[in-house]
Amino acid sequence: MTDKTPNTLTCRIDGMDCPDCAAKVEKVAGRLPGVTDLRVDFTAGKLSAKVASPEAADKLRDTVQSLGYSLHDASQPVTSVLRIEDLDCSEEVSLIEKMLGHLPGLMSLDANPVTQRLSVVHDPERLPLGQIIATLAEAKLTAVPFGETRVKGGFWTENGTLVAMLSAAVLVTLGLILHHILGADALWAKLAFGSAILTGGWPIARKALAAARHGAIDMNVLMSVAVIGALFIDAWDEGAMVVFLFSLAQWLENRSMDRARNAVRALMELAPTVARVLREGHEVTVPVEQVQVGEIIRLRPGDKAPLDGEVVDGQSALNQAPITGESLPVEKAPGDTVYAGSINGQGSLDVRITHLAADTTLAHIIHLIEEAQAARAPARAFIDRFARVYTPAVLVLAGLIAVLPPLLFGQAFDDWFYRALVLLVIACPCALVISTPVAIVSGLARGARAGVLIKGGMHLENIGHLRALAFDKTGTLTEGRPRVQDVEPLGDTPPAQLLRIAASLEARSEHPLAQAILEYAAEAGVTPNEVSDFQALTGRGVQARIDGRYYQMGNHRLFEEGGLCSPAVEAVLDRREAEGKTVIILGDTQHVLGLISIADQPRANARETITHLRALGIEHITMLTGDNRGTARAIAEHLGIDEPHAELLPADKVEAIKALVARHQRVGMVGDGVNDAPAMAAATTGIAMGAAGSDVALETADLVLMGDDLARLPFAIRLSRASLRVIRQNIAVALGLKAIFLALAIPGYATLWMAVFADMGASLLVIANSLRLLRLR
């Protein structure tokens, strides 16, 4: 942000793309105290205003951000992300690079034909976003800011290509009928074929001219040259068939690609755009961007939650499947968290908003999915290198085939020229280029629908190669909620009386073990007594007077120092600790009255999950915990874990992961994403579990299990391996068909329309094969 005068502030505003957006910012932010003469130029992406103080400038920035935009120093580079509806093939990527690459102010760009996403880093002063959009429009490429909806045009704008394709189909059919009845050289047949070429070929020719003006050789240029060449050698029927089949294949390919794109876009449309807010006792429907933290919204039966919040009134079951992947609705009551995108059941809920629209869990997920789509998978490096060599090599080969046999060996020019045209048609590596990204996008979308968020193609590939897994114990393999297992009197004190004394001593504590005792007492109908002279004994336990008698409760050390431990007590301690339980001793000043055993139970599906992981070929499974060795060993034996590591500090966990990586190369670390972040970073793949409410986990992990279900991990591994298989199959299909038709074209066994079938058929097969991932169970 740059100050031109002491009171004038000029800055860049990101995400602004229409006059209505600018008017909205001017209306809302222009009312702020200390802000005057606010002007927004959406074409240049600039905001200017007079501010009375730095505080007013900060308030202006916060308000603009709450509306979904952000302010930056106008002199800094900006990253603009555009969606290009016509971006479907690698050749269009090359065209975009040629069109924008020479513009002053451009620093870098990255285009993804599968997601139709163009990311541009540019200087907004020298290269405004409007100029980028206008430059793309010259090549008939329609660009809008990513996330915005394009304003639809008229009938011909929206359906002209489809009408042209259908018209070509009718005219080609008519031409073939006339060709059969009147003969190959019939004027009426040629007229029908020529009309098919004109009607069906104008969208192709228009794009070809735009590409040629910028020195790009894309599929439209190659097809146009092939059709003109067919007319040159009097093959009108072949030229018309090429136009029709190419138009049909492109239409089918776009429809198929849209299925993969829509699988991800559906996630981005989960949350409604308006909220029902309670203001001054009335329900007011307002855009979600205008709802502030702390306001109360009302969810009626069947409503989708527009924002994250906390229930303050009402009870209902919410379907959180879009966020966590949980198959069953989750009961919500006052104090429970509600996620944007969740679907309310039969009850009505009043929810206090805890996050702005741009900061919800769903918004974070969408942002991470967008980043994941843009990230390049390792397999794409080979494909990009191959594509850069393949097309020029085939073009050179086509030129040599057209010229050398007639010149050197006196062969018929028309015959070898036709073979060269066939090579031109298969010169575009479109199927190969989309073979990896369309599979990656399908895999990411399938994972997200199941509550498994994967941070990009690289991690999707890495998960399938894991050879070892390390689990944190508490909250990952176990429920993370200690529960009382045994209440064992050692004298004549009844168990209920023992539990009452324990609950009374722990009534003031917030410690998890104390909460476990209080919950168990409440379930048993035991009410704590009042205590006096309460004293906490650091590192040992507590003591207090109940009904005039002193009691103490704590660990082994407390009673050993008091000389109250006996062989009977030691025997019970050893037995329970060997079972993986934490034992609390309760006594008075003279005797041990009894023991209470507490354990954090393993998750119900933890053992089954470990078994599934082994069946998937995971060679080594270990557990890392700060808990004692007895507990760690007992849980590891119960779950079938190879090697428990106990009493570890966070730094020790990192060292343990490094040792695993040295032995097994590809290692995953499964934890909560917060305390285990250093260990996750040291692993090949960091996996966070139950992370729907944790911003830290969403940012630090490579794979995020949004729900609290350990069984999603084997699914994630199967999804990764299925994606890798699909990628290999796609590459084999794309390269195999190209190789076959190269071999058929040179000796003259392939025709133009067969080449179109092969080229576009390969793309359709690759897309259809990738879409199978969306149905993975």
Q: Which helix (H) or strand (E) holds 463?
A: helix 457-464
Burial of 155 (0-12, 13-18, 19+ CB in 10 A): exposed
Distance CA 699, CA 1 (A): 27
The residues, any chain, with a CB within 8 Å of residue 674's CB and separated by 6 or more, are 694, 696, 697, 700
∠ at Cα 605 (600, 606), nearest 5°? 60
Do 342 and 323 contact (CB within 8 A), yes or no?
A: yes
Distances (CA, A) of 772 to 115, 146, 465, 727, 730: 18, 27, 21, 12, 12
Give the relative orientation of helices 437-449 and 457-464 as an angle to the nearest 10 degrees: 80
Distances (CA, A) of 757 to 90, 256, 482, 657: 19, 16, 64, 51
Distances (CA, A) of 636 to 581, 642, 647: 13, 7, 14
Q: Which helix (H) or strand (E) holds 483?
A: strand 483-489
Q: Count CB neighbours of 470 within 10 A.
A: 28
Pairing of strands 703-705, 452-454: antiparallel
Per the rule left: phi > 0, alpha: psi between -120 and 50, beta: everything else, 604 is: alpha
Burial of 526 (0-12, 13-18, 19+ CB in 10 A): buried
- For residue 663, how many C-alpha atoms fall within 13 Å in the half-sphere facing its CB? 14
Pairing of strands 592-599, 296-299: unpaired
Distance CA 291, CA 455 (A): 30
Residue 472 falls in the annotated catalytic set: yes
3-state secondary structure 249-305: HHHHHHHHHHHHHHHHHHHHCCCCCEEEEEECCEEEEEEHHHCCCCCEEEECCCCEC
Phi/psi of residue 44, nearest 5 degrees: -95, -10
Do 668 and 466 contact (CB within 8 A), yes or no?
A: yes
**Active-site pick, 237, 303, 308, 472:** 472
Distance CA 473, CA 636 (A): 9
Do 638 and 486 contact (CB within 8 A), yes or no?
A: no
Q: Which helix (H) or strand (E) holds 374?
A: helix 361-374
The residues, any chain, with a CB within 8 Å of residue 99's CB and separated by 6 or more, are 135, 136, 138, 139, 214, 216
Q: Three-class SS of residue 235?
A: coil
Sign of CA dihedral 28, 33, 38, 42: negative
Q: Three-class SS of residue 11?
A: strand
The residues carrying an active-site annotation are 472
